[in-house]
Amino acid sequence: MKMTSRRSFVKNLSLGLGSATVLPALTSFQLSPTRKNPAYSGKKLNVALCGLGRYANILAKGLAESEYCTLAGIITGTPEKAAAWKAKYNIPDKNIYNYENFDKIARNKDIDLVYVVLPNGLHKEYTLRAAKAGKHVIVEKPMAFTVADCQEMIDACRKAGVQLAVGYRLHYEPHHLEIKRLGQEKVFGPVRLIEASLGYNLAGTPPDDWHLKKALAGGGPLMNLGVYCIQSNRYVLGEEPTAVTAQFGPVTMPELFTEVEENISWQLQFPSGAIGTSTTTSNCNIDRFYAAADHGFFELSPGLSYGPFKGRTSEKAFNFPVINQQAAQLDGIGQLILQGQALPSHISGEEGLKDIRVVEGIYEAARTGKRVALS
């Protein structure tokens, strides 16, 4: 796979996918009425990362490459992390917060957006607090535990007049843009079956890891990984599932999985008659997407994680560039916010809610052993 400039690739994307709704100007950025590309002004969207775990480090690299966003602040409950990030990224003291004084960020005009990268169980709280502080929000997946929580987050951001996005980085990644096109345009005819599975081997994980605690994780691999599988089904078909069946898998590490599932499989039914079958697991490493259509197939392996992705159709191999997925996502979001435009629906809070509606249905189907209708 040939590496290419993430900037040159992003410029070729249709980043203006959102509506042209004009939003209030940012306090730290005034868009010139004659400037078509705000990035060339040298002014970027100022982002504060809320939570400094593993993925925050990946996002920091994306922010370093971003044309439209910059790392301006951090929120952490660990003083040692605060000191290390301050030194590494030259973050001023006034832009460093902990979870107790976080709400004071409302008075900081040098922070435009808060990116919530905390454990799942804290997504709702810090999205609500960021919105109340008047900051735009990106929240990582899963958006929240329940549809009701997702709706509360959406409503709070709407009331505050700020934008809410979910960290759907794959909507900016070329391999996934292509499988979306192949499916929705029926290049090989109607897609009949999608297999999408994702899993990591968590053997040896400390038993106090938050991913194993229901209060913080919300569930096991379905909650942490399943959104990727659900998303790929939905955007390749361009349809919403109508029903689901599901099964919990065996527990092979009972010393770890006392609160959340270790393995779960499910089958989605779509209006076109297509079926999506998926497994998420903490028992082994798997990362695969496969779509079978009437006149061919297309697949990715690795397919749903961080890549680098490799794929092919029944006719030829893919030859797309390897990009920084986080930088592409941040630029897609940052450019539109800087221009005062609404974010596209496919990365919105409403999109996050749709995924959680399916997650809730999968858990219900697995618990009851019954087919569950998805409305």
Q: Is residue 153 part of a domain?
A: yes
Beta partners for 114? Answer: 48, 137
Element (H or E) spanning 247, and its range?
strand 243-248
Confidence class for position 375, pLDDT limits 50, 70, 90: confident
Q: Is residue 349 part of a domain?
A: no
Confidence class for position 32, pLDDT limits 50, 70, 90: very low
* CATH code of the domain covering residue 236: 3.30.360.10
DSSP characters over 83-144: HHHHHHHT--GGGEE-TTTGGGGGG-TT--EEEE-S-GGGHHHHHHHHHHTT-EEEEPSS--
Q: Is residue 243 part of a domain?
A: yes
Q: Is residue 245 part of a domain?
A: yes
Same domain, 301 and 192: yes
Task: Kindly name the residue from 141, 168, 200, 363 that is annotated as catalytic.
Answer: 141
What are 130-185's pLDDT values in tens digits?
A: 999 999 999 999 999 999 999 999 999 999 999 999 999 999 999 999 999 999 99
Predicted local distance difference test score (pLDDT) of residue 42 = 64
| Structure-token pair, residue 262 | 């270790």
Same domain, 185 and 46: no
Task: Kindly name the residue from 228, 235, 354, 363 that is annotated as catalytic.
Answer: 228
Same domain, 186 and 129: no
What are 239-284's pLDDT values in tens digits?
A: 999 999 999 999 999 999 999 999 999 999 999 999 999 999 999 9
Q: Is residue 1 part of a domain?
A: no
Instruction: State the Cα–Cα distance between residues 357 and 50, nearest whole angstrom.
Output: 25
CA-angle at 209, arms to 230 and 352, nearest 5°:
25
Who's near 183: CB < 8 A, 6+ residues apart?
191, 235, 236, 237, 238, 291, 293, 298
Who's near 329: CB < 8 A, 6+ residues apart?
62, 167, 168, 169, 171, 172, 347
- Answer yes or no: 141 catalytic: yes
Same domain, 218 and 304: yes
Name the percent of the chain lying above pLDDT 90. 88
Instruction: Count structural domains, the chain.
Output: 2
Three-class DSSP category at 225? helix
* CATH code of the domain covering residue 55: 3.40.50.720
Same domain, 216 and 137: no
Same domain, 209 and 123: no
Q: Is the pLDDT of residue 6 over 70?
A: no
Same domain, 227 and 212: yes
Predicted local distance difference test score (pLDDT) of residue 43 = 83
Sheet of 286-293, strands arranged across: 311-313, 296-300, 286-293, 191-199, 275-281, 263-269, 243-248, 372-373
CA atoms within 13 A on the CB side of 125: 12
Which pairs from 33-42 meet CB under 8 Å and 24+ separation? 38/68, 38/335, 38/338, 38/339, 39/67, 39/68, 39/335, 39/338
Q: Is residue 70 part of a domain?
A: yes
Phi/psi of residue 308, each to 5°? -65, 135
Predicted local distance difference test score (pLDDT) of residue 17 = 35
Q: Is the pLDDT of residue 117 over 70?
A: yes
Contact 233, 210 (CB under 8 A): no
Q: Is the pLDDT of residue 8 over 70?
A: no
Buried b (16+ CB within 10 A) or exposed e, 284-302: eebbbbbbbbeeebbbbeb
Who's near 325: CB < 8 A, 6+ residues apart?
62, 169, 170, 172, 173, 306, 307
Predicted local distance difference test score (pLDDT) of residue 7 = 39
What is the domain extent for residue 118?
6-169+327-343
Name the percent of the chain lying above pLDDT 70. 89
Same domain, 61 and 127: yes
What are 222-251's pLDDT values in tens digits?
A: 999 999 999 999 999 999 999 999 999 999
Same domain, 213 and 331: no
Predicted local distance difference test score (pLDDT) of residue 198 = 98
Same domain, 144 and 200: no
| Structure-token pair, residue 261 | 């599932």
Three-class DSSP category at 347? helix
Q: Is residue 139 part of a domain?
A: yes
Same domain, 212 and 193: yes
Same domain, 218 and 269: yes
Element (H or E) spanning 352, and its range?
helix 349-368
Residues 290-304: what's their mean pLDDT? 98
Nearest to 39 by CA among 68, 65, 10: 68
Q: Is the pLDDT of residue 39 over 90?
A: no
Q: Is the pLDDT of residue 97 over 70?
A: yes
Q: Is residue 350 part of a domain?
A: no
Nearest to 113 by CA among 70, 81, 142, 151: 70
- Answer yes or no: 89 catalytic: no
What are 330-370's pLDDT values in tens digits?
A: 999 999 999 999 999 999 999 999 999 999 999 999 999 99
Three-class DSSP category at 21? coil
Q: Is the pLDDT of residue 52 over 80?
A: yes
